[in-house]
Structure 1
Amino acid sequence: MTSPTRTSPASRSAARERDTRIRADAADLGLAARTPRVGRTALTFIVLAAGLVVMTIVSASLGQLIIPFDQVLGSVFNKIGLHWLDGPSRAFGEEALWNVRFPRIVMAIVVGAALGVAGALMQGVFGNPLAEPGTVGVSSGAAVGASCSILMGWDFLGALTTPALAFACGLFTTLSVYLLARRDGRTEVVTLILTGVAVNAVAGALISFCTFAAPTSARDQIVFWQMGSFNGSRWNQVALVAPMCVVGVIAVQFMARRLDLLALGEKPARHLGVNVERLRFRSMLVVALLVSSAVAFCGIIAFVGLVVPHLLRIIIGPGHRALLPASALGGALLLTIADFAARTTIRFADLPIGMLTSLVGGPFFFWLLRRSRSKSGGWA
């Protein structure tokens, strides 16, 4: 019979010191998560919320048909039974607000919030400020589904066929990335990223084939879908997208504490009771739900999930209890501004919103790379 393994007093002392240090770091991180620069955080939330309200009113008011701000507010008040202000006085003003502009604005708010939260979640799980939802292939997978639907002319679900296939393929692609990267019941961040790169490459090839094989009209649809747009958004579409995005945004709040612990590193997080693999899988599932829902009707909108969470992390700190809801507000505000610019920059034209976000996100991504390089002292 073998005698039980005994640890030396020095080893036990070192283990206790390591445990104490990890718990102290976790306590510090938890305190930072509860009070992350309190004054600045509160001010950030106020500015984001106020900016979103102001941009909603401005976007509803301005366009080819100009409706005064007070009449926009009057129309909203009248809808909820408060006759405080007069509604639109111009012909078709009410119809323009409630059938064209408000559905589009609400869709931009919902999609922006979903993409912002998804980006914050990906950066938290991957521990990398350069991570964004497209890393795991959800956007490219959705584009494959939409492209195939447009190419084949499928309409078994009517007008919902293309969005439904985009949603399903986005979920399927994300699940495929996770399963391909999983080995011996575990996944690693580097493996997930490299698998995502490979899957994105395959998806890009399939999209290129669909674009090549499609007739002219279908080819234009495929290209325009990939550029992203809120043009044509309707209340029935908002009713399908909003519940899934709201559920996803609420679900991530229950992950905030574990994401804060994961920021200490995988081993310390496991030591503190976090099931890292389960957290990673659930996070990717929520990201797939949020992004697939967001892009199903409006197409691919790049860089929102990269720009918004990283900027807010710089402003309010890394605590996810504040960062996640702030990212929702920030993403909603950014896309509301981008949609307003898409409608009004060129008269009688509706610019692709994905093009505008890429124009902003591309230079920001380059700045982020240079900032990361200067902080680390090199690319390695």
Structure 2
Amino acid sequence: MSDTAVPSPVQSPVQSAAQSPVREAKSRALGLTALGLTAFGLAALLVSLSIAISVGAVPVPTGTVWGVLVGKISPGIIEADWSRGREAIVWDIRFPRALLAILVGAGLAVVGAALQAVTRNPLADPHLLGISSGGAFGAIFALLHSGLFLGLLTVPILAFCGALLATLVVLGVSRLADAQSADRLVLAGVAVSFIIMAGANGLIFLGEPHASHTVVFWMLGGLGLAQWDHLIYPAVILLACGAWLATRTAQLNAMTVGDETAATLGIPVARFRLAVFVAGALITGVMVAFSGIIGFVGLMVPHVARMLVGGDYRRVLPASALIGAIFLLWADIAARTIMAPEDMPIGIVTGLVGGVFFVWLLGRRRGV
């Protein structure tokens, strides 16, 4: 009687055979959807890149933009019918700025997605966990008090050290306060972020007045200092750390379920979480060194990515990188056009959009 009352959890061969084509069809549909979204995203990225280079205080036609790019990559293919001034605007100013926006947007979005997985908190991002503040502290210390003793590498290295130190402090505070839950980890990050920013403000106050004025760039965020020589650093770090995270998507998927489940699958939970935090600190620190504090990208973009491609991190990570790059390109376009010919700090734009998204997300979670 108990056999008839409790259905067997084991499927018969007939049931498995009947459901196998259904699974295959769903898998093919998801693959085609992801492929279509990727193609659409890459097309949107190219269009956004063209517009970002075209608009500004001196508008440049799209045909001229791509003509300059092709001419620089393969000289002699296209006859130049534009002035040297426009060529300098496109190649020396706007193109590296747009590429930096792509790198920073993709990097912060990937870090946010990874942090949300290992903390199991949809509100986690580099800004809220204090990692961005630590990077800014390191960059400000390098600019005002240490001198560029390592040349161009001084600012990104000290920014990474600051971001890593902030990460370790957040983890230490959460452990000291026995705040192992995801929500309390974010609260610890917010508290540490306020403390670190107070220290950064102290460094600015103690620094030389004229130099301190330029450090406001790191406090509000901006891409106006982008140069070709500098792009190699964020590009290499993003490729290296992004590739490492891409090989850990199975572990990230397991971490979203819970520490116990991840541990039963053989994942060293504490060590893996620390490794993800270190990778996130490295990416964030280098990005902050060249763009300043740009908040809420890591919070918003992973949610949009999961809405489009689902929760599997094999798709979430690349989708987050692509959407983050597009978002920051358009944020930079808005920053350059709202108060043209002056550049508004891009952190103001992302903060405004991110704050609205943050409130919407809280309301959405309450309604679930």
Same fold (TM over 0.5): yes
Partner of 1:336: 329
Identity rate, percent: 37
2:277 is matched by which residue type in structure 1? M
Corresponding residue of 1:67: 60
1:107, 1:230 within 8 Å by CA — same for their partners in 2?
A: yes
The match for 1:91 is 84
Q: Report the CA distance between 1:135 and its aligned residue.
A: 3.7
- 2:257 aligned counterpart, secondary structure: coil
Pair 139,36 (structure 1): closer, same or farther in 2 beyond 3 Å: farther
For 2:105, the equivalent position in structure 1 comes to 112
- Partners of 1:125 and 1:58 lie apart in 2 by 36
User: Is residue 48 of structure 2 the alignment partner of residue 55 of structure 1?
Assistant: yes
- Rounded Cα–Cα distance in structure 2 between residues aligned with 1:36 and 1:252: 26
Query: Partner residue of 1:123?
Result: 116
Structure 1 letter corresponding to 2:82: S
Decide whether aligned partners of structure 1 residues 180 and 366 sit closer, same or farther in structure 2, where only a CA change above 3 A counts.
Answer: closer
Within-5 A mapping of 1:286-297: 286-297=279-290
Structure 1 letter corresponding to 2:326: L
Contact 1:71 1:85 in 2 (8 A): no
- Count of residue correspondences: 346
TM-score w.r.t. the length of structure 1 is: 0.82
Tell me what 2:267 maps to. 274
Counterpart-to-counterpart distance in 2, 1:240 and 1:279: 25
CA contact under 8 A between 1:300 and 1:354: conserved in structure 2? yes
Q: Does 1:142 align with 2:147?
A: no
CA distance in 1, matches of 2:28, 2:249: 14
Residues 327 and 109 of structure 1: CA distance in aligned 2, closer, same or farther (over 3 Å): same
Q: Deviations over 1:325-362 (max 9, x none)?
A: 00000111111111122222222211101111111100
Distance 1:359 1:191 in 2: 25
Q: Using the TM superposition, give the Cα deviation of residue 217 of structure 1 relative to its aligned residue in structure 2, in angstroms.
A: 2.6
What is the alpha-carbon root mean square deviation over aligned residues? 2.8
Judged with a 3 Å threshold, the aligned counterparts in structure 2 of structure 1 residues 35 and 312 are, in CA distance, closer, same or farther, namely farther
State the match for 2:20 in structure 1: none
2:345 maps to 1:355: no
Counterpart-to-counterpart distance in 1, 2:130 and 2:331: 24
C-alpha distance in structure 2 between counterparts of 1:36 and 1:313, whole Å: 17
AA matched with 1:137 = G
1:365 deviates by 0.3
Counterpart of 1:300?
293
Deviation at 1:190, TM superposition (A): 5.3
Choose the corresponding residue for 2:315, options 319, 322, 334: 322
* Alignment match of 1:207 (pick from 200, 203, 210): 200
Indicate the residue corresponding to 1:254 in structure 2.
Answer: 247
Change beyond 3 A, Cα 1:180–1:100 = same
Q: 2:158 aligns to what?
A: 165
Q: Give the superposition deviation at 1:35.
A: 6.8
Match of 1:79 in 2: 72
Secondary structure of the residue aligned to 2:318 is helix
The residue aligned with 2:236 is 243
When normalised by structure 2's length, the TM-score is 0.85
Contact 1:150–1:221 (Cα < 8 Å) also in 2:
no
In structure 2, do the counterparts of structure 1 residues 65 and 34 end up closer, same or farther at CA, with 3 Å as the change threshold?
same
Q: CA deviation at 1:181?
A: 4.3
Q: Residue 122 of structure 2 aligns to a residue in which SS?
A: coil
Cα gap change, 1:222/1:78 in structure 2, threshold over 3 Å: closer, same or farther?
Answer: closer
When residues 271 and 322 of structure 1 are mapped into structure 2, their CA distance, relative to the original with a 3 A threshold, is same
Spell out, residue by residue over 1:183-203, the C-alpha distance to the aligned partner (whole angstroms, 9 max, x if none).
8xx966456434423422320
Helix, strand or coil for the counterpart of 1:92?
A: helix
Structure 2 residue 46 is matched with structure 1 residue 46: no
Whether contact under 8 Å (1:40, 1:315) holds in the other structure is no
Q: What one-letter code is carried by the residue in structure 2 that aligns with 1:335?
A: L
